[in-house]
Structure 1
Amino acid sequence: MEIRQLRYFAVLAEELNFTRAAARLHISQPPLSLQIAQLERELDVRLFDRNNRRVTLTEAGEAFLNDVRALLASLKEATVRVRAVDQGLAGRIEVGLSGSHFLGPVPALIARYTAEHPQVSVLLNEMNPAAQLEALRGHRIDVSISRTAVDDEELQAMPLWPDPVVAVLPRQHPLAGRKRLELSDLAGDAFVMLRQDTSGFARFLAETCARAGLPLSVAQTVAEVPAQLALVAAGLGVALVPRSTCRHADDRVAVCRLPADISRATVYAVSRRQGRRRALDTFLQTAAQMGDGKA
């Protein structure tokens, strides 16, 4: 039994006339008659009663028509769906990200993308940066939103938007009224730092301080930027964090810019070079538009 035979049957059942059905199918009448006869032989059922003046469905034909219509409708839906997946307009994207990105542009990116691509499910997996890279290599996520570029044989990074590093200080800090600081201004302070074993960005910050000759006195080490901000607000130290995370900072925290040569930082989308879901390409296109200010 072929899909073509089922389509021929459905059209003939609607037209109840071989000439009109053949014209609608853009074939001649003999091939239509042949295919219907083959279908009836395969089913061992008479689907139509025929005489010189009319064609009618048998009782079995009427029952078969309901199932055939449902089958053809499902096939059409499957065709539309598979084409949408192939074009990146449907499917699923597994996103890995750390908690700090919820404080920046990422929620707006997810909202815009899901509004534009309602047939794509975007699943957010909150995990530390090191775990994201492991999950990417293991094909458990499709993209990592990261503050560290990765470029090797398996993974690649696409810049999304700049997110400069700023200093956050307790509101009662003597330098809290300053708009801009040098790292050397914080030489006597205790720092709330990110854990370097799980974050390339944390290692970047520690190396930046080392290059600037800033001796670090570490008061606390935490896994996420929101924890840094909370501890700074409580007066336990100062911290270096991405500027985007300060949009909704506690009013007990002061935010100070740093020189461009040490504050420059970027958010990246890290993905596999091979075996990517098609929907990821449309997701990255939307992210790139937001990074270009086209959101």
Structure 2
Amino acid sequence: MRMRHLRYFLIVAEELSFVRAAAKVHIEPSPLSRAIKELEIQLGVRLLDRSKGRIQLTCSGKAFREEAHRMLAFMEAARMRVLATSNGACSYLRIGLEDGLAQPRIAQLLARCREEEPRTNIRVVQLKPSDLFQALRYDQIDVGLTLTELDSDEFIQRLAWEERPAAAIPIRHPLLSLEEIPLSELLRYPLILSNPEQDAKNQKVVPQWLQEQQLPKLKIAEYATSHEAMMMLVSAGYGVTIGLESQLALYRHPDVIVRPLSSETPDVPTFASVLNRPFSDELQRFLIRMDAMGNKITI
């Protein structure tokens, strides 16, 4: 089985068109179709349903798409590890970050790891929450930092640290008369949330406790596709938004004021997730540093 066949298949599976897929890989549709047929012969299954004038993935094709992603990711990780070794690295650690998680503590933790272990090659990738746990399961990363809490024997989750939630409010807003904002007061006003199509759980901007407030009943003014767009809409007066205090501080806007939520609103935990198996020495040292940053020295 050739690596290029896997790449060809993934592009066809994405485009569901040999013409569009062929244009992406700069070959003619006929040899591309033959390459997929060779792959089907090797596997002994049909990956694509070509009937009715269109292409669709069969059940086998959907399963193989997932495996092809895993195989290519494994080969890329192997290539990067070998390259790092040739440049002087003796060990490696692969860290996954939940997409959109940009806490200053994470940057400090990564900087400390690089400073104290210069010969450990540390790779960082950003992943959607569901992809992060898949990457752990398929041994594509060693540890994932996430806001998503799981109840599963397959993974071990450790509390990394907790952060205060805060509200981003436009200037000249009635809520600015309060030093700390009660959640009940904040929810009287229209909210700007992350786009549900890009973030199905809204967990980067809207923590779990807000989801439990029955989101469909809240006043949603707009959905934003990024933190920058969210702050722009807040500054324009479309509504208010909620996030981690440290993250909102990274996206300062002159017409937006960040105020902490009142003390009855719970802190938002960040978890380190790993597979339930023995830790490597590099992962063990990473977790010790993480615990120290979270004022938790136990391991």
Q: TM-score, normalised by structure 1?
A: 0.61
Q: What is the SS of the residue equivalent to 1:179?
A: coil
Contact 2:99 / 2:129 at 8 angstroms: preserved in 1? no
- Structure-2 change in CA distance of 1:93 and 1:154 (3 Å): same
Query: 1:238 maps to which residue?
Result: 240
AA matched with 2:154: E
Larger mean CA deviation between 101-110 and 283-292 belongs to 101-110
Query: 1:286 maps to which residue?
Result: 289
Q: What is the SS of the residue equivalent to 2:113?
A: helix
- Alignment length (residue pairs): 205
AA matched with 1:241: G
Whether 1:140 aligns to 2:140 is yes
CA-CA distance at 1:157 after TM superposition:
1.1
1:209 to 187, 192, 213: 213
Q: What is the SS of the residue equivalent to 1:235?
A: coil
Contact 2:164 / 2:267 at 8 angstroms: preserved in 1? yes
For 1:90 and 1:143, locate their aligned partners in 2 and report how far apart those are by CA, in whole Å. 19
Whether 1:261 aligns to 2:264 is yes
For 2:245 and 2:129, locate their aligned partners in 1 and report how far apart those are by CA, in whole Å. 18
- Structure-2 change in CA distance of 1:204 and 1:273 (3 Å): same
Between structure 1 and structure 2, the one with the greater Rg is: 1
Contact 2:249 / 2:258 at 8 angstroms: preserved in 1? no
Q: What is the SS of the residue equivalent to 2:265?
A: helix
CA-CA distance at 1:127 after TM superposition:
2.1
AA matched with 2:235: A
1:35-54 matches, cutoff 5 A = none
If asked which structure has higher relative contact order (CA below 8 Å, sep 6+), I would say 1
Contact 1:166 / 1:263 at 8 angstroms: preserved in 2? no
AA matched with 1:124: V
Q: What is the SS of the residue equivalent to 1:259?
A: coil
Query: 2:221 maps to which residue?
Result: 219
- Structure-2 change in CA distance of 1:266 and 1:187 (3 Å): closer
- Give the superposed CA RMSD: 2.9
1:66-86 CA deviation, whole Å, 9 max, x = no partner?
Answer: xxxxxxxxxxxxxxxxxxx9x
- Structure-2 change in CA distance of 1:191 and 1:199 (3 Å): closer
Query: 2:115 maps to which residue?
Result: 115
Contact 2:164 / 2:266 at 8 angstroms: preserved in 1? yes
1:1-295 matches, cutoff 5 A = 90-98=90-98, 100-194=100-194, 195=196, 197-200=200-203, 202=206, 204-210=208-214, 215-222=217-224, 225-248=227-250, 249-274=252-277, 276-292=279-295
AA matched with 1:235: G
For 1:161 and 1:199, locate their aligned partners in 2 and report how far apart those are by CA, in whole Å. 20
CA-CA distance at 1:238 after TM superposition:
0.9
- Structure-2 change in CA distance of 1:271 and 1:132 (3 Å): same
Q: What is the SS of the residue equivalent to 1:250?
A: coil
1:167-208 CA deviation, whole Å, 9 max, x = no partner?
Answer: 111123221342211122134422112336245564614334
- Structure-2 change in CA distance of 1:226 and 1:131 (3 Å): farther
- Structure-2 change in CA distance of 1:158 and 1:93 (3 Å): same
1:82-132 CA deviation, whole Å, 9 max, x = no partner?
Answer: xxx9xxx95222211145433421111100111001111111111222221
1:123-153 CA deviation, whole Å, 9 max, x = no partner?
Answer: 1111222221222222211111111222411
Contact 1:180 / 1:256 at 8 angstroms: preserved in 2? yes
5+ residue gaps, structure 1, are 1-84
Contact 1:144 / 1:271 at 8 angstroms: preserved in 2? yes
CA-CA distance at 1:160 after TM superposition:
1.3
1:198-235 CA deviation, whole Å, 9 max, x = no partner?
Answer: 45564614334349xx9411122346545433432343
Contact 1:189 / 1:217 at 8 angstroms: preserved in 2? yes
